[in-house]
Amino acid sequence: MSRSIAVGIVGATGLVGETFIQLLEKSEYNFTELRLFASEKSKGRSINFRDQSFACQVLENGCFKGLDVVFFSSGDDISKEWAPKAVEDGAIAIDNSAAYRMNPTTPLVVPEINFHHIASATTPQIIANPNCSTIQLVMALEALKEFGIEEVRVASYQSVSGAGKEGIEDLVNQSQQVLRGENLQPGKTFILPIAFDCQPKIGSFNDEGFCSEEIKIMQETKKILDLPGLKISAFTVRVPTMNAHGEACWVTLNRDVDRATIEKALQACDFISYLPHNSEKSFHSYREVQGETNAFVSRLRKDPGFENTWMMWVVADNLQRGAAANGLLIAQRIFDKLS
Ligand SMILES: NC(=O)c1ccc[n+]([C@@H]2O[C@H](COP(=O)([O-])OP(=O)(O)OC[C@H]3O[C@@H](n4cnc5c(N)ncnc54)[C@H](OP(=O)(O)O)[C@@H]3O)[C@@H](O)[C@H]2O)c1
């Protein structure tokens, strides 16, 4: 007999949390309970879901009791402290933060690729959602994995929504300042004003000069694809676009494969939308992928300078596939087992 599901969202008022709410609202599932959590400043704020109104709560001990699944989207510190408490309360915590991703015992999951990393899907546990730019990269790489991937180089061009609501506010406010001819004011999120500019820094720098986003892509890709020895190098750049991330990728295979075979492999993946080169507009823009769950691959070509190396452009909606939709796809497989 099917049963309804009780769900919590931590960070319900943020960009990722709001995307979760929209996706759950449209989903086929019945929810016996929806518990929404945010910070003290949002306490009591009401949020509509399927013609009902839900008041935001703050986190407190025991607040997850009775929930089957809790989506965490409030940052690393909140997840570190509260995701284990959700598990103690009997829930499965699907965590969008970086807090547990590289923990050896925590599955880091893109469901179409490695759902099997979750040993027992209905057991209370933490399941980590990968970094947004990692997710779209591994989706494209998964299609080519059968040809033996030796090296990956990726340069990302990441929208401000990747930095949350304040990232969007900064871009909007600073763009208006530029267009009104005013002096640019510092924002809350980026080290320099982001309007009409690019910044090769996402997250914090380590001593070697890598930023944390680059480290995440390099480490997480190996874990998800089960390729611990993969040579991978990432360079991440924040660009003044609102939503979606683009990645220029160089993928070196361990053998010579022809274009038709690679295209066939990309076309065979139902989680990839592939656009072959056949016109002046043979590429995907950020606007075109809004609200989509697939990774969009185009501009495939063989690199003339490096043996067995293929170049491509990979774009995806970071709030959907890069965060909430990936989390919900994990949850759906769990819901189906719970129902
Ligand atoms: N944005 C993306 O593309 C993306 C992609 C993948 C993963 N992620 C990860 O997802 C998480 C959320 O990102 P976001 O972009 O949605 O950020 P955001 O728009 O800044 O939202 C942050 C959320 O956290 C809540 N929060 C803050 N302090 C809290 C507290 N003490 N207790 C409970 N909730 C609290 C905020 O509530 P208030 O509104 O009350 O302050 C808000 O709902 C981050 O870990 C981020 O790294 C984001």
Structural domain spans, the chain: 5-130+323-338, 134-318
Side-chain-side CA neighbours of 335 within 13 Å: the count stands at 21
CATH of region 5-130+323-338, choose from 3.40.50.720, 3.10.20.90, 3.80.10.10, 3.40.50.1100: 3.40.50.720
Same fold, 5-130+323-338 and 134-318: no
**What is the full per-residue pLDDT of the chain (339 aa) written as tens digits?**
456 899 999 999 999 999 999 999 999 999 999 999 999 999 999 999 999 999 999 999 999 999 999 999 999 999 999 999 999 999 999 999 999 999 999 999 999 999 999 999 999 999 999 999 999 999 999 999 999 999 999 999 999 999 999 999 999 999 999 999 999 999 999 999 999 999 999 999 999 999 999 999 999 999 999 999 999 999 999 999 999 999 999 999 999 999 999 999 999 999 999 999 988 999 999 999 999 999 999 999 999 999 999 999 999 999 999 999 999 999 999 998 887
Beta-carbon neighbour count of residue 153 at 10 Å?
17
CA of 137 from ligand 1 middle (Å) equals: 23
Residue of the CA atom closest to atom 10 of ligand 1: 73
Backbone phi, then psi, for 104, in 5-degree steps?
-60, -25
Residue of the CA atom closest to atom 39 of ligand 1: 13
Torsion of CA 143, 149, 151, 154, to 10 degrees: 0
CA of 38 from ligand 1 middle (Å) equals: 9
**Residue found by looking up tokens 């408490």 in the block:** 85
Of the residues 16, 110, 189, which should be mutated to test ligand 1's pocket, given the most ligand atoms within 8 Å of the CB? 16
Rounded distance between C-alpha atoms, residue 82 and residue 70, angstroms: 10
Handedness of CA 91, 97, 100, 106 (dihedral sign): positive
**Residue found by looking up tokens 């949002």 in the block:** 42
Partnered with residue 247 across adjacent β-strands are: 156, 314
* pLDDT score of 178: 97
CA of 207 from ligand 1 middle (Å) equals: 27
Backbone phi, then psi, for 215, in 5-degree steps?
-65, -40
CA of 16 from ligand 1 middle (Å) equals: 7
* pLDDT score of 279: 87
Instruction: Report the Cα 336 to chain-centroid distance in Å.
Output: 22
Alpha helices in 31-164 (DSSP H): 76-88, 111-114, 132-144
Of the residues 73, 131, 138, 318, which should be mutated to test ligand 1's pocket, given the most ligand atoms within 8 Å of the CB? 73
CATH of region 134-318, choose from 3.40.220.10, 3.40.109.10, 3.30.360.10, 3.40.50.1970: 3.30.360.10
DSSP 195-234: TT--BS--S-B-TTS-BHHHHHHHHHHHHHHT-TT-EEEE
Pocket of ligand 1 (CB under 6 A): 10-17, 37-39, 41-42, 59, 73-75, 78, 96-97, 132, 161-162, 164-166, 318-319, 322-323
